[in-house]
């Protein structure tokens, strides 16, 4: 049964729906039906009335038609009417429009019901509709439903407002209520949050689409298309045009045909890719990426300064060499085959590189910087080599997407078990992992699983959360005994494990350049413990170090990343310094 939460909108209370104490026949099998019906639903301005329409049709004589409007949660009619048509059809318009004056109702939450009884005393409820009378006079059809803060985009800020309202931390204005009621059922609840997260995911997180033609040095790429002129340049600026990259994008960002969130997506920008911004206004940027031109929201991009990012500093980049290259590998100006070639890397040469996406890497070779296609490079490493203050273990790379969008912890365990050559699949791990419910509301209070005990949701679902170290260790023990876990681990302990040839699963973040914030809150559905969820929580596999650098496999991107140890420790410690290892 669907559970509704209690919420407060302005000065009136909307509570769990209580069914009328009446018995009705199954509408699907009953002999009475209604066609071409129109009745109040969702939201309307306080001063507005309503025009009823519809025709009741019965296989037998209609002996009674009854309609009423009650305060939600009450069976006491505020408006009611009844008639005995003694006919097989009945037009409701004249009766209801003269008797049920919706315009006289004040601000509040209401339920409209309409039922009919035939000559066999079979009663059928034809309509039961919840609706609100509110103060807002907005044209609802023109509103961007989901944009709760009214800034023109649907994003994590809207989710935070909705979450705070659901938890009772803050109230919504009438306009915000309309924007937050995504499923238009006149309740603000977890089902609206699910739809909102779906919209956010649709707008920002789509599967990577690698280029159709990889940067094979033996196959010259097609020339890039010249981006079209925009016929209307009013309000567009170019003074900050240039190279940009994504920010706060875990997977990829939609490129849209027009500067509108509802416009068709014509491509995607992989997380951390570099692209050209040709012009921009206060909300949108017109960009070129590979051979795709279109619009992206300014919220998810930032100016790119070559060498300014930690990953792009040659001193912290990993050493790579070529793979399956017989002569030379092209270095391009940008992350795409449409960019100019700025240099080449000879087959077998060593160079510095960091990953920008699952398909492109930023490289430094003999003073030349640019991008190469990742299918043609590999880490320069010997199994378990050590050289003074450095270790690199031969740990596989693995991408959890698209099958396990929230399964980073299971993917990290899969990588760890594969290192020890355990015959196990990713699905075996996900199946064995203990799981509990995503947050749900009961009597206005949010409950859900405890990540210290079980996975919150299901790793197959994008609308789930995650799990911490103890359940992962317990799952690991089912496939290979001897696992160990702890919180409060130090970098020295991790380095000692790496020196012993043991990779380490560690709890970190999908965005190393951001900070941890606690987005959602609920109570443990078993113990009642209060839980705050760290947005961006992630699990990685540390596989090496080099002086003050740490190297890890990232299941979110299917690649490797390099961080200074001090930078890594900031968020690692914030999340409890959790590790799992053998």
Assess whether pLDDT exceeds 70 at residue 202: no
Query: 71 and 150: one domain?
Result: no
Model confidence at 139, pLDDT cuts 50, 70, 90, reads low
Res. 313: pLDDT tops 60: no
Q: Please indicate, yes or no, whether residues 425 and 555 belong to a single structural domain of this protein.
A: yes
Residue 295 lies in a domain: yes
Question: CA distances (Å), 299 to each of 153, 158, 280, 281, 393, in order?
Answer: 9, 13, 12, 12, 38
Rounded Cα gap, residues 186 and 131, in angstroms: 6
pLDDT for residue 140: 57
Tell me the H-state helices in 390-425. Answer: 408-419
Same domain for 503 and 395? yes
* pLDDT greater than 80 at residue 23: no
Same domain for 402 and 538:
yes
Of the pLDDT bands very low, low, confident and very high (cuts 50, 70, 90), residue 493 is very high
What CA–CA distance (Å, rounded) separates 272 from 262?
Answer: 24
- In this model, does residue 133 exceed pLDDT 80? no
Residue 431 to residues 85, 400, 426, 509, Cα–Cα distance (Å): 60, 15, 9, 24
370 and 325, same structural domain?
yes
CA-CA distances (angstroms) from residue 96 to 50, 81, 91, 385, 562?
10, 7, 10, 83, 70
Q: Is residue 333 part of a domain?
A: yes
Q: Residue 507: CA atoms inside 13 Å, Cβ hemisphere, count? A: 27
- Judge if 128 and 145 occupy the same domain: no
Q: Compute the mean pLDDT over every residue in the chain, rounded to the nearest whole number.
A: 78
Share of the chain above pLDDT 90, in %: 30
The pLDDT confidence band at residue 154, using thresholds 50, 70 and 90, is: confident
Q: Given the DSSP bridges, would you call strands 390-392 and 385-386 parallel, antiparallel or unpaired?
A: antiparallel
The DSSP bridge partners found for residue 540 are 506
Question: pLDDT value at position 116?
Answer: 92
**Which of 78, 103, 133 delimits the end of a domain?**
133
- Which of the pair, 46 or 225, is modelled with greater confidence? 46
Q: How confident is the model at residue 47 (pLDDT cuts 50, 70, 90)?
A: low
pLDDT of residue 176 exceeding 50, the answer is yes
Residue 326: inside a domain = yes
The reply to whether 24 falls in a domain is: no
If one compares 221 and 570, the residue with the highest pLDDT of the two is: 570
In this structure, what token pair is assigned to residue 466?
């995650």
Confidence of residue 226 (pLDDT cuts 50, 70, 90): very low
- Which CATH number goes with the domain that contains 38? 2.60.40.2550
Q: Are residues 268 and 253 in contact, defined by beta-carbon separation less than 8 angstroms?
A: yes
If asked whether residues 439 and 510 sit together in one domain, one would say yes
pLDDT of residue 250: 56
Residue that wins the pLDDT comparison between 251 and 279: 279
Q: What's the rounded mean pLDDT across residues 293-312?
A: 68
574 by DSSP, 3-state: which?
helix
Tens digits of per-residue pLDDT, 319-344? 788 888 888 899 988 777 778 899 99
The tens digit of pLDDT for each residue in 416-436 reads: 999 999 999 999 999 999 999
Task: Output the pLDDT for position 284.
Answer: 86
Pick from 395, 454, 404: which is nearest to 425 by CA?
Answer: 404
Q: Is residue 433 domain-shared with residue 525, that is, in the same domain? A: yes
Region 211-228: what's the mean pLDDT? 35
Span 125-149, mean pLDDT?
A: 74
> In this predicted model, which residue has the larger pLDDT, 361 or 46?
361
Q: What is the mean pLDDT of residues 103-110?
A: 80
Rounded to whole angstroms, how far apart are CA atoms 151 and 9? Answer: 21
Domain assignment present for 422: yes
Overall average pLDDT of the 229-251 stretch: 68
Nearest to 119 by CA among 65, 64, 81: 64
Task: Please indicate, yes or no, if residue 229 is contained in any of the structural domains.
Answer: no
176 and 71 co-located in one domain: no
Binned at pLDDT 50, 70 and 90, residue 538 comes out as very high
Query: Of residues 21 and 136, which shows the higher confidence score?
Result: 136
Q: Which CATH number belongs to the domain containing residue 153 in this structure?
A: 1.10.1330.10
Confidence of residue 317 (pLDDT cuts 50, 70, 90): low
334, containing H or E segment = none
Residue 318 pLDDT exceeds 80: no
Give the CATH number of the domain where residue 371 resides.
Answer: 2.30.30.40
**Does the pLDDT of residue 349 top 80, yes or no?**
yes
Cα-based torsion angle of the residue sequence 320, 275, 257, 152 in order, rounded to the nearest 10 degrees: 110
Quick check: 492 pLDDT over 70? yes
**Which of 133, 160, 180 corresponds to the end of one domain?**
133
Q: Is residue 275 scored above 90 in pLDDT?
A: no
Question: Do 119 and 176 fall within a single domain?
Answer: no
Q: Return the higher-pLDDT residue of 112 and 412.
A: 412
Tell me how far apart the alpha carbons of residues 79 and 96 are, in angstroms, rounded to a whole number: 10
Select from 359, 379, 399 the last residue of a domain.
379
Domain membership flag for residue 226: no
Mean pLDDT of 20-33: 51
The reply to whether 553 and 477 lie within a common domain is yes
Q: Residue 487: give its domain's CATH number.
A: 3.90.70.10
Exposure pattern of 262-277 as b/e (b: 16+ CB <10 Å)? eeeeebbbbbbbbbbb
Radius of gyration over every alpha carbon of the chain, rounded to an integer in angstroms: 30
Alpha-carbon distance of 358 to 363, in angstroms, equals: 14
Q: Residue 46 and residue 522: Cα distance in Å, rounded?
A: 34
Say if residue 367 is in the same domain as residue 412. no
Q: How confident is the model at residue 109 (pLDDT cuts 50, 70, 90)?
A: confident
pLDDT value, residue 274: 81
Domain of 70? 32-133
pLDDT-derived band at 381, boundaries 50, 70, 90: low
**136 band by pLDDT with thresholds 50, 70 and 90:** low
Altogether, the residues listed in the chain come to a count of 582
The answer to whether residue 236 sits within a structural domain is no
Specify the number of domains making up the chain: 5
């Amino acid at each position: 049964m669907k559970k509704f939460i209690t919420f407060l909108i302005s000065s009136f209370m909307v509570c769990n729906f209580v069914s009328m104490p009446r018995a009705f026949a199954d509408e699907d099998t009953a002999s009475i039906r209604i066609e071409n019906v129109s009745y109040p639903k969702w939201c309307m301005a306080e001063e507005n009335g309503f025009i009823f329409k519809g025709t009741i049709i019965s296989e037998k004589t209609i002996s009674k038609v009854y309609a009423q409007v009650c305060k939600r949660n009450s069976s006491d009619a505020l408006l009611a009417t009844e008639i005995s048509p003694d006919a097989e059809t009945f037009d409701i318009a004249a009766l209801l429009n003269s008797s049920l004056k919706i315009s006289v109702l004040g601000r509040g939450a209401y339920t409209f019901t309409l039922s009919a009884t035939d000559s066999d005393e079979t009663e059928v409820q034809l309509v039961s509709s919840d609706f609100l009378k509110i103060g807002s006079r907005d044209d609802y059809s023109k509103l961007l439903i989901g944009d709760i803060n009214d800034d023109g985009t649907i994003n994590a800020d809207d989710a935070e407002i909705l979450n705070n309202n659901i938890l009772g931390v803050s109230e919504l204005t009438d306009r915000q209520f309309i924007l937050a009621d995504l499923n238009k059922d006149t309740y603000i609840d977890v089902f609206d949050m699910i739809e909102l997260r779906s919209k956010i995911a649709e707008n920002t997180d789509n599967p990577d689409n690698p280029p159709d033609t990889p940067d094979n040095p033996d196959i010259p790429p097609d020339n890039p298309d010249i981006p079209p002129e925009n016929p209307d340049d009013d309000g567009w600026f170019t003074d900050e045009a240039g190279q940009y990259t994504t920010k706060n994008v875990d997977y990829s960002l939609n490129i849209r045909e027009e500067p509108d969130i509802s416009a068709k997506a014509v491509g995607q920008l992989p997380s951390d890719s570099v692209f050209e911004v040709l012009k921009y206004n206060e909300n949108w940027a017109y960009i070129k990426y590979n051979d795709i031109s279109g619009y992206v929201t300014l919220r998810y991009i930032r100016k790119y300064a070559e060498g300014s990012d930690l990953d792009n500093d040659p001193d912290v980049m990993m050493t790579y060499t070529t793979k399956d290259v017989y002569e030379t590998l092209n270095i391009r100006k940008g992350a795409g085959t449409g960019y100019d070639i700025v240099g080449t890397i000879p087959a077998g040469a060593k160079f510095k590189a960091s990953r920008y996406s699952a398909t492109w890497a930023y490289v430094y070779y003999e003073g030349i910087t640019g991008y190469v296609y990742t299918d043609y490079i590999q880490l320069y490493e010997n199994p378990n080599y050590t050289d003074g203050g450095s270790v690199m273990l031969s740990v596989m790379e693995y991408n959890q997407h698209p099958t396990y969008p929230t399964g980073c912890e299971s993917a990290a365990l899969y990588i760890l078990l594969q290192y020890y050559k355990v015959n196990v699949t990713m699905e075996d791990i996900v199946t064995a992992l203990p799981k509990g419910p995503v947050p749900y509301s009961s009597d206005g209070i949010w409950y859900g699983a405890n990540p210290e005990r079980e996975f919150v949701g299901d790793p197959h679902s994008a609308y789930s959360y995650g799990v911490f170290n103890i359940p992962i260790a317990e799952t690991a023990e089912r496939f290979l005994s001897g696992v160990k876990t702890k919180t409060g681990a130090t970098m020295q302990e991790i380095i000692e494990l790496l020196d012993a040839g043991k990779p380490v699963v560690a709890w970190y973040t999908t965005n190393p350049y951001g900070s941890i914030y606690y987005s959602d809150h609920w109570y443990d559905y078993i113990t009642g413990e209060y839980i705050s969820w760290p947005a961006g929580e992630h699990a990685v596999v540390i596989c090496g170090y080099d002086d003050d650098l740490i190297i890890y496999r990232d299941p979110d991107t299917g690649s490797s990343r390099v961080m200074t140890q001090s930078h890594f420790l900031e968020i690692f410690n914030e999340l409890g310094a959790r590790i799992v290892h053998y």
